[in-house]
Structure 1
């Protein structure tokens, strides 16, 4: 007996061929029609049971949520809504699901809020919405690796445990194996980290960038794609304590080349899912349209999901300096009429999502790349421009989401980098190895970071970042 996935059977032309398929029961009507799904596709396959020739005890166990293995003949469907169906010859119950237990879960066939689904995150992937989101997430991850592999990049696994704070934010999770009830103390009464496992204070990483830079200066072009952590006490729909970052670093590359790479990369991975996730994207678009009917007009998405993706794929990215963007925002109607929550008054302001979306959705009406930001609002490792007040930084802005990529040409000059570190209070002793790369064959190099969940959020139309990662980690929440 040939075993097939539901997705394969729905596409098969081998009518009258016998197959075996396993999955979970989504519905069982009239003691005859089983809607079976195995996670390989959004769609169920209908399995038609001959109840007169099926054991009554088996029929009693065919409930929503049950796992079953079915053998039967693939036939053209006589009903509406499906091209093919399976005429069942035998059913094996692999795992029962009691109706009374199902009623207590999100598996019961009715509409549930996203908040309710988060409470049962171990089951939510069996719903249509999260099955679709996670299939898109998986395809995006594959496309990330495929893109960089095709471009000759090397995949580097940077440390999860680190002694440095790449962003200088200080919002990091500490790593220790000391007895927290009785940690060793030094003569001044402070915790003595020299007695800890690593002999120093260590944390979970916020970025693999610094380590990736060192590898780019030996392998030419590399990328990281792994988990990062930030102990930011934020409960917004845009923040996670654990998230995944995509971070390429390229030697002999300036800011313009970095922007070219980021544009090409984003368009590649988004085009990949439009070709390989058509059913899931259609479903997610329809889900979003239904959800938005209940929202005030100002809170609705600027365009339908697939149109939003096409907006990125079919438009050139407009490159605008930070200085030009500030002038545009200062003179915009929302700013003059004080409609922005954060009014732009002078050069040097740190742009918010509302400003970024205005530039993309209202002013330029295309994806926007902002570059040459004030040095005061950017990280120490970004290359200082000749004006002494701006750095070779860039952010890519998308509709509905604002910033999706942040990057820069890195500061390759030893003396300038050291001066910047001292100015911002970055410990040069902790980052001696990073500084030392500027002593031996230093060269211009660039890179960017893209939060993977932010990309999945954009690609699926979901509105809360907790709904695009299997098990979200947020303040006061480490369930599952």
Structure 2
């Protein structure tokens, strides 16, 4: 008999004489009531066992974490809080679970403990909800761009280019590490490596994405990226996923329009399709907020934060105006900021970004026209010679969620910037070709997918919104 998902059983319009459900036991009480969950929904379905006619040996094997199959009638539930339950006529143990050793007991666990058991944490309500929301958001990303006529491009994971120019990249090699080939000057001879050159795991698909945008008009990438940054903060991962659209003939204003429309679309899609999971995560966040000092508590619930994004136009503010606001702000004057803003050119921190969003403008903010010396080489230089056509989108509780720019389409200007920064022109000859053959104004942005999931789920540590986090000194599972 084909089994039916728990979600579909709970949403049934009628009772049924016989159904089959399969899943994992969450709880088993009074030798009669099983809370069964199969991952299709946050909610369990109650399965009522005929314990008088069920062998005692079988009852003993119904433990937390065990995989079971039940056959029985779907009937209206006598208990509160549930529409249907299954009156079990046949029960089969598919996989036993050692109840005493099973880590995911039906009690509250610390997030650190759950990270140490990342292979099992998805069986908890919280992580089941997070991963379902993550899945829906990923689908919404593709749905949005496909509806808009974008072409999905898979850019290389192994690359010889450092898109950000930061050098924090994981090297890829097949050379024997205990006997590295050397050149005459003693440096590593990468000509003998698999690719015949020094290669790394990508930090961004942008540069390759630009080449496709200059032929296909509008493209997007959505794939894994890597950064060898030795940071153990709640905001950093060594392996993460990036969403990066690139659009020919779009200037910075078009880019801001696209980014705002895109974010609102995917957040709205999650709100409309993850109601139960988001309601649960909202309650979880509220409990977490109660543990904080009053001054550190968020003024908004999770769903209020999401509506805050959906219902407000994003305020567009130049970097220069933002610096003036921050410099004259009370927390800056009273030295409440950890990083005091003293002059134009400062690199804004999360505390500054959140102040602008949560305290000053009270809506999402798009900052634009940043100092050239704190932004990447590929951003278009403004006529003032000191700022670039960059933009960042700032959200409540999280700060920057999107970074993008109008790209430098002028060959001579781009070459000059690369030389000033010591970027090898020969390494990026193909990138420069796009400026030599039919160059045009074009723009794009990057959105760290885990940042988006973090915001939508209300979690506070980015390690909790990716299945298996990769961080310094941790590559378990």
With the shorter chain as reference, the TM-score category is over 0.9
- Map of 2:468 onto structure 1: 471
RMSD of aligned alpha carbons = 0.8
- Map of 1:323 onto structure 2: 320
Deviation of 1:55 after TM superposition, in Å, equals 2.2
**SS where residue 99 of structure 1 aligns?**
coil
**TM-score, normalising length: structure 1:** 0.98
Range that drifts further, 13-22 or 411-420: 13-22
- Map of 2:260 onto structure 1: 263
Preserved CA contact (<8 Å) 1:213 1:249: yes
Preserved CA contact (<8 Å) 1:285 1:304: yes
- Give deviations 1:157-203, integer Å, cap 9, x for gaps: 00000001000000000000111011101111111111100000000
- Give deviations 1:290-332, integer Å, cap 9, x for gaps: 1111112233234110000000000010000111111111111
CA 1:171/1:302 → structure 2, altered by over 3 Å: closer, same or farther?
farther
- Give deviations 1:422-464, integer Å, cap 9, x for gaps: 1111111100000011111100000000000000000000010
**SS where residue 435 of structure 1 aligns?**
helix
- Give deviations 1:330-383, integer Å, cap 9, x for gaps: 111111111111111111111110110000000000000000111111000000
Distance of 2:216 and 2:469 partners within structure 1: 34
- Map of 1:297 onto structure 2: 294
- Map of 1:352 onto structure 2: 349
Question: Any unmatched runs of 5+ in structure 1?
Answer: none
Query: How many corresponding residue pairs?
Result: 477
Q: Does 1:408 align with 2:405?
A: yes
Preserved CA contact (<8 Å) 1:302 1:399: no
Alignment of 1:16-35 (within 5 A): 16-35=16-35
Deviation of 1:276 after TM superposition, in Å, equals 0.5
- Map of 2:155 onto structure 1: 158
- Map of 2:241 onto structure 1: 244
Deviation of 1:2 after TM superposition, in Å, equals 4.7
Distance of 2:430 and 2:298 partners within structure 1: 46
Deviation of 1:56 after TM superposition, in Å, equals 2.2
**SS where residue 100 of structure 2 aligns?**
helix
**SS where residue 271 of structure 1 aligns?**
helix
Range that drifts further, 196-205 or 52-61: 52-61
Range that drifts further, 10-19 or 64-73: 10-19
- Map of 1:73 onto structure 2: 73
Question: Any unmatched runs of 5+ in structure 2?
Answer: none
Distance of 1:7 and 1:347 partners within structure 2: 55
Alignment of 1:120-199 (within 5 A): 120-199=117-196
Deviation of 1:100 after TM superposition, in Å, equals 2.3
Q: Does 1:235 align with 2:235?
A: no
- Map of 1:272 onto structure 2: 269
- Map of 2:419 onto structure 1: 422
**TM-score, normalising length: structure 2:** 0.99
Range that drifts further, 175-184 or 52-61: 52-61
Q: Which runs of 4+ in 1 moved over 3 A?
A: none
- Map of 2:40 onto structure 1: 40
- Map of 1:93 onto structure 2: 93
Q: Does 1:13 align with 2:13?
A: yes
